[in-house]
Amino acid sequence: MSAHKDNERNTWTAAFYYEDWTGERRKKQKRGFKTKREAQEWERSFLDRKAETLDMTFSDFVELYSEDMKPKLRWNTWLTKEYIIKEKLIPYFGRRKMNEIKASDIIKWQNTLMNMKDDDGKPLYSRKYLKTIQAQLSCIFNHAVRLYELKKNPVYAAGPIGGDERTIEMKIWTKEEYKAFSEAISDNVESFTAFEILYWGGLRLGEMLALTPDDIDFENDQIKVTKSLQHLRGEIVITPPKTKKGIRVVKIPHFLTREIEIFVKMQYGLGADNRIFMVSKSGLHHELDRGTEATGVKRIRIHDLRHSHISMLIDMGFSAVDIANRVGHENIDITMHYAHMFPHKQDEIVGKLMKVNDWQEAV
């Protein structure tokens, strides 16, 4: 270790040599440490990262993970990951050494998150968000296993956080509930048209808000989904859809095409590449409240309109593959999570099997 004191500033400096990736000997120096120990710890941390030894701390490994992954990810995707890492993971694991974090440590961390409450005494995080946080932690350890020879991912041994996601209650609107709601807010043409696209087209909120007239094929009743609107660090940003499968063409009912066309024609000076909808998410929340209060229909989230669309297609008998392609699911496993909502389908299956059997006996 090579640390020396700057008597004028009363601080410490770390200065040492290391070999870069070409094998060339280089000097590294950093000033401004309050103590000798801090300077030496910084030197040790730097050399551990260069040597890629998992004797380094979680915080130091996250720097390696960031260098490896950030260039490969979309900006908005990385911002989400970065927030979770900085706010939910580093405060707990930051000073722990990567090769010393065990499954028991993961379980203690899980319990800490699940026991956090808001001001009303309710769980601070939903089970879905807990799963998202743990997935990011697991990604970091998987990266260490795959590229830096960590023996195993301790998250796997600890098991899931917050219970099985399939047990989470999923609220949907039936066709009758949605029609009652939409009629109640039909005086606001923009919100009405936006909700129509969400319910009958199954688009994500960001996909709907990013639509332009060029994205609507009025002759063939189609919506081209190629982008999504997001709010990142206080700014509106247009990004690609959530997944690669999110880029798709969605066939829509003719009545929905006409509703969109009517609304577009109402917008004076709207260019072909201008956004059709300027309503905000909070504005749509307000309309949800207004419509549910007026009709007595149960309150659901905006994203539950997409769930409602998918559930309606399942109830109509469409295959998981067809539905996944329509709504932009990356794989059919996501779509299949909705199937438990329709246990009566099992009765229909049995009924059809019995009919087949009767036919065979008759032959």
Tell me which residue of 51, 52, 46 sits closest to 65, measured CA to CA.
Answer: 52
Number of helices (H), then strands (E), belonging to the chain: the values are 16, 8
State how far the Cα of 182 lies from the Cα of 199, in Å rounded to an integer: 10
Residue ranges, comma separated, of all CATH 1.10.150.130 domains in the chain are 3-167
| 41 in Cβ contact with 57 (< 8 Å) | no
Sign for the pseudo-dihedral over CA of 87, 92, 94, 100: negative
Q: How many CA atoms lie within 13 A of 314 on its CB side?
A: 25
Alpha helices in 85-224 (DSSP H): 90-93, 103-114, 127-148, 154-158, 175-184, 189-201, 205-209
pTM for the model stands at 0.60
pLDDT band for 291, please (50, 70, 90 cuts). Answer: very high
More confident call, 1 vs 60: 60
| 251 in Cβ contact with 149 (< 8 Å) | no
State how far the Cα of 199 lies from the Cα of 191, in Å rounded to an integer: 12
Q: Euclidean distance between the first and final Cα of the chain, in Å?
A: 90
More confident call, 125 vs 319: 125
State how far the Cα of 332 lies from the Cα of 192, in Å rounded to an integer: 30
Helix, strand or coil, per DSSP, at residue 275 = coil
Backbone angles phi, psi at 74, to 5 degrees: -65, 150
- What average pLDDT does the segment 291-301 reach? 94
More confident call, 171 vs 186: 186
pLDDT per position as a tens digit, 210-258: 999 999 999 999 999 999 998 877 788 898 887 788 899 999 999 999 9
- With 80 as the cut, is the pLDDT of residue 17 above it? no
Length of the chain: 363
pLDDT per position as a tens digit, 198-211: 999 999 999 999 99
Q: Which residues contact 182 (CB under 8 A, 6 or more apart)?
A: 192, 195, 196, 199, 291
Backbone angles phi, psi at 282, to 5 degrees: -65, -35
pLDDT band for 166, please (50, 70, 90 cuts). Answer: very low
Give the start-end residues of each E strand in the chain. 3-6, 11-19, 25-33, 216-217, 222-225, 228-232, 235-239, 248-251
State how far the Cα of 357 lies from the Cα of 363, in Å rounded to an integer: 10
- What average pLDDT does the segment 7-34 reach? 71
Structure tokens at 111: 């319990």
Q: Residue 186 to residues 190, 299, 331: CA-CA distances in angstroms?
A: 9, 17, 35
State how far the Cα of 204 lies from the Cα of 225, in Å rounded to an integer: 10
| CATH of span 3-167 | 1.10.150.130
What is residue 87's DSSP assignment? Answer: I
| CATH of span 175-341 | 1.10.443.10
More confident call, 43 vs 63: 63
| 304 in Cβ contact with 170 (< 8 Å) | yes
Helix, strand or coil, per DSSP, at residue 67 = helix
Predicted pLDDT of residue 294: 95
Predicted pLDDT of residue 316: 82
pLDDT band for 64, please (50, 70, 90 cuts). Answer: confident
pLDDT per position as a tens digit, 321-341: 888 889 888 766 566 666 555
State how far the Cα of 63 lies from the Cα of 69, in Å rounded to an integer: 10
